[in-house]
Chain A
């Protein structure tokens, strides 16, 4: 087995969307390495390519050119089925609009991916309950998404992403629909999990609070990286807490 040097590595990745007769370049030769355990934010204006970048890293979309390595595997060489397997086993997703399955309870949503992995019931229950108490959802296991607040739904989404203990979590603007206090609470949860489990977090954001909390801050513009800043973990935390106060 080949150990991955990087959790994520992109080499000259290009992606162009065709809108009618017009070609719209989304990524123009992006190269990037993200180490295991990083807590990284990708920021930039609308149309800068943030979501495209996350989709390509997550195997939801394919690059037109370049190489995309995640957990030691070149995604460009994987079939759709292999990509689905990689997503299920190694990657967790948190979406802007939570995207919980409305017909399942909070607990069932969180254990959805574990079920797909074939984890037995008692282990699923054990893992989900532990995570729920960590993210502050204890006692809400049986509620349906419609019976939860936005912040609670997003915590369920984080629990769903975390429960399989993936190597990488991709979060597309996770705080975009949350109020300021709820967003901070969610970031606390995500950062705590990053610190405790060592899971790599990459999230796209417009939110200054998120940018402040990131240990690594990558700025995109017109499909290209314009800045890539690594900050001291403690400094990032202090800055954020100061802002919050």
Chain B
């Protein structure tokens, strides 16, 4: 133990025989760790933002809908009123209230929206005006007029692209035409079903999300108006969308709902299941980022290996002396590994200081992507042009562990070289 301490002491002092070289090497490894922390922070922040935007434009973190809707997309698959009230009741329990931020029942259908100037195919979302803002992104993105309210039952909000195409503005009248829905085996209200229905609406708000497909196709109107138009009994909806306090609870909440909603008439999906493409894109992005980080770390690692190896080779004579004095090969290896670990400790301190400082800046002030793209952002998953870094303590521990493990593994080869110093050639300087 005493001799191991001496070997570590020798290793530490050896580092400072060439302070400039040591600091340069430590900076290279530290920079590798800093880049890893910064890129992981931006990646996780970007993904968190993308998921938040994706679920708020789509079906929320968790969605409950009629069984088969996800695969068929058939608007005729509806949730019965008693199922909806059952869901709402369950979500009122104390345990669920802590986890759920917003609940919004929605009725979805397709239709044709016409103005005096033009017509366009649209995706109809019948929503409860006071519930939808807690779940959806659209109410917050109203740039003209106001969002829906119960005192304007014939109001409609439309995207900016659609407004431009239809040449309408706030207060303009539009006609929404659609085919009445009919649930298989159930006679619809007023005998409606598979008949073209139409209603006159007034544009109360225009929203802009930045996503062309949304701004040109989606319209929202009060749920009662949509149900009347589609000829559905009160309370029937396509889905109930849930926004949670934390994305990480999605699977747990979905499990609890599946357990509650037995009978096989509904499907409960997390956002990963309801928006599989988003999950795949994020997975792909993760994989690509891991590969890039792996390449950066491998390059830094090779640089470190070269430096430590050079340090070992230029001290071959010294190792020969140590061996001649009775130092065992294993002890020589410990000395070199001790030196490498001391170098790694300095590198980690530098890397953490730099990486966490930059990460903190991006976490508070954000990275403005408009600075990179110069003009407006292209259609992308990230709707907010300012990207905020999010770095969890687990990520920091993981990154430090990876760099530490890499540096330790790298030091084994020079340590082996030192341990294999051949006497008496080393003493002759051969």
Chain A residues with a Cβ under 8 A of chain B:
55, 58, 60-61, 80-81, 84-85, 87-89, 93, 95, 99, 101-104, 108, 112-113, 115-116, 118, 121, 160
Report the nearest A residue to B325, measured CB to CB. A113
Selected from A60, A103, A115, the residue in CB contact (under 8 A) with B423 is A60
B331 adjacent to chain A (CB < 8 Å): yes
Report the nearest A residue to B11, measured CB to CB. A103
Main secondary structure of the interface of A (DSSP, over half): helix
Task: Tell me the complex Cα distance, A101–B324, Å.
Answer: 13
Are the C-beta atoms of B427 and A116 separated by less than 8 Å?
no
B414 nearest CB across to chain A (Å):
17
B326 adjacent to chain A (CB < 8 Å): yes
B295 adjacent to chain A (CB < 8 Å): no
Are the C-beta atoms of B427 and A60 separated by less than 8 Å?
yes
Are the C-beta atoms of A116 and B324 separated by less than 8 Å?
no
- Which of B2-10, B100-108, B357-365 contacts the other chain? B2-10
B328 adjacent to chain A (CB < 8 Å): yes
Are the C-beta atoms of A102 and B326 separated by less than 8 Å?
no
Interface size on B, residues (CB 8 A): 23
Selected from A60, A88, A115, the residue in CB contact (under 8 A) with B424 is A60
Are the C-beta atoms of B326 and A87 separated by less than 8 Å?
yes
* Contact status of A60 and B17, CB under 8 A, knowing A95-B427, A115-B2: no
Residues of B contacting A104 in the complex (Cβ-Cβ under 8 angstroms): 10, 13
Are the C-beta atoms of A116 and B318 separated by less than 8 Å?
no
Interface centre among B2, B16, B327, B329 (most CB of A within 10 A): B2
Are the C-beta atoms of B10 and A103 separated by less than 8 Å?
yes
Task: Tell me the complex Cα distance, A104–B11, Å.
Answer: 11
Residues of B contacting A87 in the complex (Cβ-Cβ under 8 angstroms): 324-326
B322 adjacent to chain A (CB < 8 Å): yes
Are the C-beta atoms of A112 and B325 separated by less than 8 Å?
yes
Residues of B contacting A115 in the complex (Cβ-Cβ under 8 angstroms): 2-3, 6
Residues of B1-29 contacting chain A, CB below 8 A: 2-3, 6, 10, 13-14, 16-17
Residues of A contacting B383 in the complex (Cβ-Cβ under 8 angstroms): none
Task: Tell me the complex Cα distance, A81–B329, Å.
Answer: 8
Report the nearest B residue to A113, measured CB to CB. B325
Are the C-beta atoms of A55 and B424 separated by less than 8 Å?
yes
Residues of B contacting A60 in the complex (Cβ-Cβ under 8 angstroms): 324, 423-424, 427
* Contact status of A103 and B14, CB under 8 A, knowing A55-B424, A112-B6: yes
What sequence of 0s and 1s flags, for each residue 315-351 of chain B, a beta carbon within 8 Å of any chain A beta carbon? 0011001111111110100000000000000000000
Task: Tell me the complex Cα distance, A102–B324, Å.
Answer: 16
Task: Tell me the complex Cα distance, A108–B10, Å.
Answer: 10
Are the C-beta atoms of A61 and B424 separated by less than 8 Å?
yes
Residues of A contacting B424 in the complex (Cβ-Cβ under 8 angstroms): 55, 60-61
Task: Tell me the complex Cα distance, A85–B326, Å.
Answer: 6
Residues of B contacting A101 in the complex (Cβ-Cβ under 8 angstroms): 10, 318, 321-322
Query: Could you list some 17 contacts between A and B, CB below 8 A?
Result: A55-B424, A80-B329, A84-B327, A85-B326, A87-B324, A89-B326, A93-B324, A93-B325, A95-B427, A101-B322, A102-B17, A102-B318, A103-B13, A103-B16, A115-B2, A116-B327, A160-B325
